[in-house]
Amino acid sequence: MTSSRRTRWNFALQRAVEHGNALRLPLLVLEPLRAGYRWACDRFHRFVIEGMADNQARLKRKGVGYYPYVEPGDGAGKGLLEALSARAAVVVTDDYPAFFLPRMLRSAAPRLPVRLEAVDSNGLLPMRAAGRTFATAYAFRRFLQRELAGHLAEAPSPDPLAALSLRAPVAIPPAILEQWPSAELRDPAALIAGLPIDHTVGPVALQGGSGAGATRLSSFVDSRLASYATDRNRPDADATSGLSPYLHFGHVSAHEVFAGIAAGEGWTRGDLAEDAKGRRAGWWGMTESSEAFLDQLVTWRELGFNRCLHVEGYDRYEALPAWARKTLAEHASDPREAIYGLDDFEFARTHDPLWNAAQNQLRREGGIHNYLRMLWGKKILEWSESARTALQTMIGLNDKYALDGRDPNSYTGILWVLGLHDRAWGPERPVFGKIRYMSSANTARKYRVRGYVERYSGG
């Protein structure tokens, strides 16, 4: 388990169960957590370890072997997968297109003496169902509406472990356990305290794990989904799902979220519209709020996975569309209202109280209200010495603090600030050129923000 860190709604785990049944061999689940990846910190480690404790408890109840490994130092886990696979018939893992995970998989594959399968359990549409990228969400949405219906019938099992025929303990050789001790998960704080990770980015109140994710999903569907279409952009309303950290760390599956929405609607595949015109509303045959939410969960989220799979350097400035780079270059020397350095941005030392509040929320809670996250990025562009610097600042701050950072959806969202998956807008403005413009003043006119600013004022 490297990205789909869950025991339910998981194609990779389902595939491992199929192998176990066919070979009449026991299943061992290895869930490792590296110490040396960039941005490793107490915040992310705590969230992942809480998920590992969930998995450990459920796998124990199911009679399945579980091996949680928390790396005590950078590189300490090297050789563990190879040592385990020497006693295995097949290794199944997760297929994920971003951050360090593709490099890790490419490095591990040639060293294993057995078959290695990487299984895509990221979204409703398999990533490789589309052999190309899409310039806009509209174009991708049209593709989804033509292709997705058949894949909806092939959802992963809600409980893949129920099909496992052989439930036997796995005897891990003592020499392996001596070199790579199994982690003690009962006290995450004690486990994390001695690790060589960033202890300045502390844990947040949000609890990790599939159990907490399922509870949040249920609460959203029961209490907030009905007002999502009208209230999701209001900073003073608690109308968003809060599921993105659970989706990012694989504690909750997009299929599980979709199933919860569909069950609440009494929906069947027969409700899908027959045309594929790329409309944001009407294709699913659900209520306005459910359709609006699914456009975020499916269209925008999976557009990010599509792009990270097919675009090398998906997070680089050169990956922006040509029109965006051209207009930004034409306005590169425009005077700025202010220019701030990374420290000023990181510690919310700008002249704009609303922007400062958004950055403080990111540092304190690991996320920013959905609408204000767009404003946060637009102002970084406006107040940076260059668009390239702005991109580095946005990715750096988001990856360091956001629970849902380091994710395909994060990178596409950040580059959207600079014109990705968007179009040229008028009138042409200083600094922005034809890039879509946003301002704190306009946001304050559209939405109530005073309470938000008061809540997140200060350091």
pTM: 0.97
- Burial class of residue 388 (count of CB atoms within 10 Å of its CB; 0-12, 13-18, 19+): middle
pLDDT of residue 54: 98
pLDDT of residue 169: 83
Q: What is the CA radius of gyration of the chain?
A: 23
Peptide bond into 245 cis (omega under 30): no
DSSP 8-state secondary structure symbol assigned to residue 333: T
CB 245 within 8 A of CB 403: yes
pLDDT of residue 238: 87
Nearest to 8 by CA among 160, 206, 226, 187: 160
Give the pairing of strands 90-94 and 65-70. unpaired
Identify the segments of the chain with pLDDT beneath 50.
none
Residue type, 305: F
68 membership: H or E segment, kind and range: strand 65-70
Cα dist. 370→48, 206, 270 in Å? 23, 17, 32
Name the residue with tokens 């504690």: 251
Residue type, 1: M
pLDDT of residue 168: 86
Nearest to 69 by CA among 57, 58, 78, 60: 78
Dihedral, CA of residue 199, residue 205, residue 209 and residue 215, to nearest 10: -170
Dihedral, CA of residue 286, residue 292, residue 298 and residue 304, to nearest 10: 170
Tokens of 181: 């001790």
Reduced DSSP (H G I as helix, E B as strand, rest coil) percent helix, strand, coil of the chain, to 5: 50, 5, 45
